Chain A
Amino acid sequence: MLSSSARRGAAALLGAAVLTTLSACGAAPDQQPAGATGDAKGTVRPGAAASVADFGGMEGLVAAAEKEGQLNVIALPADWANYGEMLKAFQAKYPKIKVGSENPDASSADEIAAVKSRKGQKRAPDVLDLGIAFARSGAAENLFAPYKVTAWDKIPASQKDADGRWYNDYGGYVSIGCDAAKIPTCPQTFADLLKPEYKGKVALNGNPTKSGSAFGGVYAAALANKGSFADIQPGIDFFGQLRKSGNFIPVESTPATVEKGETPISIDWDYLNAGYAEQFKGKGVDWKVAVPTDGVYAQYYSQAVNKDAPNPAAARLWMEFLYSAQGQNLWLKGHARPVLLPAMTQDGTVDKDAVTKLPQVQGTPSFPESTELDKAKATLAEKWDKALS
Chain B
Amino acid sequence: MSAPTSTRSTGTAGGDGRRRRGPRTWLAALPLLAFTGLCFGIPLGAIAFGAVTRTDATTGATRLTGEHLARSLQGPYLASLIGSVQLSALTAVTGGVLGVLIAQAVVTSRSAALRGAVLTASGVLANFGGVPLAFAFIATVGISGVVTRLADLTDLGWDLYSFTGLTVVYLYFLIPLMVLVIAPALDGLRPQWREAAQNNGATGWQFWRHVGLPVLTPSLLGGFVLLFGTAFAAHATAAALVGGSVPLVTLKIADALSGNVLTGQENVALALGLDMILIAGLIMAVYLPLQRRSARWLR
Contact = CB atoms under 8 A, between A and B. Distances in A.
Contact of B143 (A9, A108, A200, A243): A200
B185 interface: no
Contacts of A140: 57-58
Nearest to A215: B261
Residue among B242, B246, B262 with the highest chain A CB neighbour number at 10 A: B262
B23 A6 contact: yes
A131 B30 CA distance: 46
Contacts of B34: 14, 17
Interface string B213-242: 000000000000000000000000001111
A341 B143 CA distance: 41
Contacts of A251: 138, 142, 160-161, 240-243
A208 to B, nearest CB: 7
A58 B118 CA distance: 67
Please tell me the size bucket of the interface on A: 35 or more
B37 A14 contact: yes
A7 B144 CA distance: 60
A92 B135 CA distance: 38
Contacts of A254: 240
B204 interface: no
Contacts, number: 151
Interface in A259-306: 260-262, 264
A207 B255 contact: yes
Contact of A210 (B38, B57, B75, B255): B255
Contacts of A22: 42
A336 interface: no
Given A6-B23, A17-B34, A385 B244 contact: yes
A200 B258 contact: no
A381 B76 contact: yes
Interface in A193-244: 200-201, 204, 206-212, 215, 243
B57 A262 contact: no
Contact of A250 (B20, B161, B257): B161
B21 interface: yes
Interface string A342-363: 0000000000000000000000
B26 A262 contact: no
Q: Interface majority SS on A: helix, strand, loop or mixed?
A: helix
A18 to B, nearest CB: 6
A172 to B, nearest CB: 14
Contacts of A141: 57-58
Contacts of B242: 250-251
Contacts of A249: 143, 161
A192 interface: no
B269 to A, nearest CB: 10
Contacts of B261: 131, 133, 208-212, 215, 377, 380-381
B12 interface: no
Interface residues of B, number: 50
B26 A6 contact: yes
Contacts of A44: none
A209 B262 contact: yes
B26 A10 contact: yes
Interface string B56-88: 011000000000000000011001100000000
B260 A131 contact: yes
A382 B263 contact: no
B251 interface: yes
Contacts of B33: 10, 14
B145 interface: yes
B41 interface: yes
Nearest to B259: A210
B251 A207 contact: yes
A254 B29 CA distance: 48
A109 B143 CA distance: 33
A3 B142 contact: no
B273 interface: no
B153 to A, nearest CB: 12
A18 B243 contact: no
B20 A2 contact: yes
Interface string A1-30: 011001101100110011001100000000
A283 B109 CA distance: 48
B142 A262 contact: yes
A74 to B, nearest CB: 13
Interface in B90-145: 135, 138-139, 142-145
Interface in A307-330: none
B245 interface: yes
B38 A257 contact: no
A200 B158 CA distance: 12
A163 interface: no
A254 B143 CA distance: 15
4 A-B pairs with least C-beta separation: A212-B260, A207-B243, A250-B245, A210-B259
Interface of A: 2-3, 6-7, 9-10, 13-14, 17-18, 21-22, 106-110, 113, 131, 133-134, 137, 140-142, 200-201, 204, 206-212, 215, 243, 249-252, 254, 256-257, 260-262, 264, 377, 380-382, 384-386, 388-389
Interface of B: 20-21, 23, 26, 29-30, 33-34, 37-38, 41-42, 57-58, 75-76, 79-80, 135, 138-139, 142-145, 154, 160-161, 239-247, 251-252, 254-255, 257-264, 266
Given A109-B258, A254-B240, 8 more contacts: A6-B23, A18-B37, A207-B239, A210-B262, A251-B242, A252-B240, A386-B79, A389-B246
